[in-house]
């Protein structure tokens, strides 16, 4: 074997040092390999929600739980993705999705033409209604009795849009808990909120949910315009709708399912 020149020896030493440095580099915390050596890392499905919307989403011991959470868990599993739920006020959910900060928006989001201008929607998975909630002794029995009355709503919701557009005097709050408190505290005559939320919250507050609904509307999940996630997400959601899984989830929460 020929003797190494000083230059050659220096070059080899440099290669060895670079190799050692590369071996000591940090690895991706979200990446892992199984025994076969294949990459088993899961992409994150980052979801924005306002967890004050029982039974669709609420906080339980600091964890976000609810109907939509259970649906999203199954969809994320079908997509091979890890669910990452981010909490915020409702009126920040759609703007955040629109700006690409989050992959999905969920908070009992109603599909409207106005919202379609800013985000894409999944398949509709539930038909909801906006309920009228009143004090037991209010004397209000339906929509007609709300003329000239003051109502509370959650900011950024279709309840707010509808009540504002139809001439009601509106007090809007970032959280439904505060909108409900405005009614129990006598600041308003009625609280307008999604029916299932009304049924979940009203009894504990001693409030009455009227039989006549304010409106009926479809629920879906929101995505950034042009998101490539919509198609595979819908494929997974449609399968859960078709095999009765979504209906069973609603039943598990004691909610009568109304499909699209």
Q: Average pLDDT of 58-63?
A: 94
Q: Average pLDDT of 86-95?
A: 95
Confidence check: pLDDT of 26 > 90: no
pTM of the model: 0.73
Q: Which CATH architecture has domain 128-217?
A: 3-Layer(aba) Sandwich (3.40)
Pairing of strands 126-135, 207-209: antiparallel
Confidence check: pLDDT of 85 > 80: yes
Q: Which of 50, 62, 153 is nearest to 108 (CA)?
A: 50
**Model confidence band, residue 19 (pLDDT cutoffs 50, 70, 90):** very low
Confidence check: pLDDT of 65 > 80: yes
Confidence check: pLDDT of 10 > 70: no
Q: What are phi and psi of 44, to 5 degrees?
A: -90, 135
Percent of all residues in the chain with a pLDDT value above 70, rounded to a whole number: 84
Q: Where are the domains of the chain?
A: 43-125+220-252, 128-217
Homologous superfamily of domain range 43-125+220-252: Periplasmic binding protein-like II (3.40.190.10)
Return the pLDDT at 42: 65
Write out pLDDT tens, residues 212-235: 999 889 999 999 999 999 999 999
Q: 245-252 and 230-242 are packed helices; what angle lies between their axes, rounded to 10 degrees?
A: 70
Q: Distance between CA 122 and CA 237 in Å, rounded?
A: 8
Write out pLDDT tens, residues 124-157: 999 999 999 999 999 999 999 999 999 999 999 9
Confidence check: pLDDT of 18 > 70: no
Q: Is 68 helix (H, G, I), strand (E, B) or coil?
A: helix
């Amino acid at each position: 074997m020929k003797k190494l020149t000083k230059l050659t020896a220096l070059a080899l030493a440099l290669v060895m040092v670079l190799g050692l440095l590369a071996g000591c580099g940090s690895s991706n915390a979200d990446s892992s390999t199984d025994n076969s050596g294949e990459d088993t890392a899961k992409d994150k499905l980052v979801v924005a929600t306002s967890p004050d919307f029982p039974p669709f989403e609420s906080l339980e011991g600091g964890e976000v739980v609810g109907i939509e959470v259970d649906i999203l868990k199954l969809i994320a599993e079908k997509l091979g993705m890890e669910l990452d739920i981010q909490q915020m006020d409702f009126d920040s959910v759609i703007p955040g999705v629109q700006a690409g900060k989050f992959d999905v928006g969920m908070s009992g989001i109603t599909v409207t033409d106005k919202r379609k201008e800013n985000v894409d929607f999944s398949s509709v998975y539930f038909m909801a209604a906006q309920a009228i909630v009143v004090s037991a002794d209010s004397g209000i029995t339906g929509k007609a009795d709300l003329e000239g009355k003051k109502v509370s709503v959650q900011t950024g919701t279709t309840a707010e849009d509808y009540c504002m557009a139809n001439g009601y005097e509106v007090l809007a709050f970032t959280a439904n808990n505060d909108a409900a408190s405005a009614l129990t505290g006598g600041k308003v005559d009625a609280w307008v909120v999604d029916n299932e939320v009304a049924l979940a919250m009203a009894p504990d507050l001693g409030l009455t949910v009227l039989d006549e609904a304010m409106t009926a509307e479809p629920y879906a999940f929101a995505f950034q315009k042009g998101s490539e996630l919509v198609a595979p997400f819908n494929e997974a959601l449609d399968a859960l709708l078709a095999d009765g899984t979504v209906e069973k989830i609603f039943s598990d929460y004691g909610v009568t399912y109304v499909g699209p």
